Structure 1
Amino acid sequence: MSVLVVGSINMDMTLYLPRWPAVGETIRAHETLVQLGGKGANQAIAAARLGARVTMIGALGRDGFGSRASAELIAQGVALYADSLDDTPTGIASIDVGPDGQNIIRLSPGANDAVTAQTVTRKADVFAGVSVLLLQNEIPLDGSSAAAHLARAAGALVVMDPAPAPDTPWGPDILSQFDIVTPNLAEARLLSGLSDDIPPAQVAAKLARHCGRGAIVTMGGDGVVWCIDGQSGAAPACKVDAIDTVAAGDCFNGALATALAQGALVADAVTYALHAAALATTRRGAAASLPAHSEVTTFISSRASGAKQC
């Protein structure tokens, strides 16, 4: 099984706050972390830790952060094909985490904006033998579109996490490039054009009509709904004591891609991904929070035994 991630690589600077400050107020963080992040890098590491053979296409600045990010991805077992740019810095994310584990993220994309269609097309040979292509919305859309085209030509399943939310809704001409989209509920409502009073299952169903196979909509503590290949379903979230939700969505997508690459049914892949994402929220950091396959299977077994139900 092979997962290819085309996407963002950042260094994350995370401040853990005792409370949320008021406008104009300065407060002292009780902990600071500087570590690898970016939705693409997080997805790649998540899939690698869960047992997939992972390749990643991206871009980095020729700077200290770029060198560190490259070394960490390779150390995690990711085969990295990243352009190193002289005139553009590595992407940076500034993350504030509150006492409830929720976060606010400010992003400077830097070199990630160079992952264009031209960049991706130059690496077309990387797509050979790929089972699942995993994308996110932290690189230019034309880069994602080129990757989706190459992946489909190679017989791969294309999964797109449309986060951060696009500035304007994607029409059928864009959504149809992807086999499965995995937005959160707010992103799904934006993409579908449906209002807040429409049930999530109907939102997923509308999105699914425009995608190759369908949509999986994540809802945080309320679980997941999906509509894939004309079949709908839902699964509850795992109840855990979350301390940091920064990489939960990336972990979900990395786990989903890994399970689908193994040939899992959608319902089973979603269940696996929900457990992996729940584990990630019990740890601090982005890439540092991502669990190994053995941890996820142990967690699933403990829930199945009745120790604590999802």
Structure 2
Amino acid sequence: MIWNLGSINADYFYHLPHLPAPGETIAAMSYARGLGGKGANMSVAAARAAARVSHIGAVGSDGRWAVTRLLEYGVETQHIAQVSAATGHAIIQIDPAGENSIVLFPGANHVISDQLIGTALTEASPGDILLMQNETNGQVFAAETARTLGLRVVYAAAPFSAEAVVALLGKFDLLVLNAVEAAQLLEATGKRLVDLPVDDVVVTLGSSGCKWVSNKGKTEQEFAAYPVTPVDTTGAGDTFTGYLVAALDRGLPMAEAIDLGMRAGALMVMREGTADVIPDLKDIQDHDFG
């Protein structure tokens, strides 16, 4: 089972003729609201990948619809608290090429109590997976608790913070980050990926594919990307991670788990939206990637 300490956001989408320059006012061509946040995206992706996932998080009184939506998508929601802070939200601007610019308000995602995290993880079993990102508080407490209880810890280090990664070094088993974040981590710590105290590192490389560094196995493997025409890149990395973790939870080898995540991410960039449009396992199995 997967326990995801993750953000829950209302995503506000604005399709624009182009991303605005500083000081520019521009009219949107369309608007929509959807469920998002890296945590919610990953929970939905893992559930759609046929994993059992329980989300640990918080919303405000304005976010009850988001909890209901998660439940409808197959995510267990009993460890999502309602707090006095407003629900987190993101303003997502998308240009015709599918590139995006995002403004994020953390809100309730930053007032998750240690008690909530601890209560949730007492229900976990050894061998379960704790998944975390950087859009909530409580990661260090959660990781230490999970390790004590015999859980595997997966850390998707986004939005990237070198300080957050350093605080968690030695407390997670798998690190997932993109190429820019990997370069920032090297600059901040002076440590190469092979020198980090972590069993496995997965680096997403966008249209160039993915790289897996196994420090435990002393190997490195690259994976070519699946060729697709992107419509919207929002949420593709979260979809990849959710599918990757779900596959590992089902006992698939890392290489197969990465491949499944890459196929899910490739299908995701051909869709507009975030959690509401994440593909399910049948979508991926039925799609001809060439």
Asked whether the two chains share a fold, i.e. TM above 0.5, the reply is yes
Q: Please say if residues 9 and 37 of structure 1, whose CA atoms lie closer than 8 Å, have aligned partners that are also in contact.
A: yes
Gaps of 5+ in 1: 196-202
Deviations 1:23-67 (A, max 9, x none): 22222222211011000000000111111111110011122xx11
The answer on whether the counterparts of 1:242 and 1:282 sit within 8 Å (CA) in structure 2 is: yes
Paired position in structure 1 for 2:282: 294
Flag as ranges the 4+ runs of structure 1 deviating above 6 A.
none
Aligned to 2:81: 83
Q: C-alpha separation between the residues in 1 aligned to 2:252 and 2:152? A: 13
Task: Provide, for residues 70-102 of structure 1, a one-character-per-residue CA deviation record: whole Å limited to 9, x for no partner.
Answer: 11011111111111112x100011111111111
Counterpart in 1 of 2:178? 184
| 1:128 equivalent in structure 2 | 125
Counterpart of 2:8 in structure 1 is 9
SS of the equivalent of 1:24 reads coil
In the alignment of these two chains, the number of paired residues is 287
| Deviation of 1:130 (Å) | 5.9
Equivalent residue runs for 1:1-310 within 5 Å: 2-63=1-62, 66-80=63-77, 81-86=79-84, 88-128=85-125, 131-140=128-137, 143-166=138-161, 168=163, 170-171=165-166, 174-193=168-187, 206-228=192-214, 229=216, 230-299=218-287, 302-303=288-289, 308=290
Contact 1:116–1:139 (8 Å) recurs in 2: no
Task: Report the 3-state secondary structure (helix = DSSP H, G, I; strand = E; otherwise coil) of the residue aligned with 1:193.
Answer: helix
Paired residues of 1:251 and 1:280 also in contact (CA < 8 A): yes
CA distance in structure 2 between the aligned counterparts of 1:125 and 1:57, rounded to whole angstroms = 12
Aligned-pair CA distance for 1:265: 1.1
Contact kept in structure 2, 1:247 and 1:289, CA below 8 Å: no
Residue pair 1:4, 1:54 contacting (<8 A) in 2 also: yes
Distance 1:71 1:273, change over 3 A: same
Higher deviation after alignment, 222-231 or 40-49: 222-231
How many angstroms apart in 1 are the aligned matches of 2:89 and 2:164? 26
CA deviations 1:198-228 (Å, max 9, x no partner) are: xxxxx9x923432331211111111111112
Whole-angstrom CA distance in 2 between matches of 1:289 and 1:185: 25
Offset at 1:16? 1.1
Q: 1:237-281: CA deviations, max 9, x gaps?
A: 111111111100110110000110111111111111000001111
Structure 2 distance, partners of 1:14, 1:262, is 34
SS of residue paired to 1:11: strand
1-side partners of 2:15 and 2:127: how far apart? 38
2:155 alignment partner AA: M
- Percentage of identical aligned residues: 36
Q: Distance in 2 between matches of 1:149 and 1:194?
A: 23
* Alignment RMSD (CA, Å): 2.0
TM-score if structure 1 supplies the norm length? 0.87
Distance across 1 between alignment mates of 2:116 and 2:194: 29
Q: 1:152 to 1:56 in 2, by over 3 A?
A: same
Q: CA deviation at 1:150?
A: 2.6
Contact 1:130 1:151 in 2 (8 A): no
Taking structure 2 as the reference length, what is the TM-score of the superposition?
Answer: 0.93
Contact in 1 for aligned 2:157/2:165 (Cα 8 Å): no
**Counterpart residue identity of residue 12, structure 1:** D
Return the letter of the residue paired with 2:22: V
Cα 1:158–1:167 change in 2 (3 A) is: closer
One-letter identity of the residue aligned with 2:172: F
Taking the aligned partners of 2:286 and 2:220, their CA distance within structure 1 comes to: 28
Which deviates more from structure 2 when the two are superposed, residues 45-54 or residues 108-117? 108-117
Which stretch of structure 1 is more off in the superposition, 14-23 or 44-53? 14-23
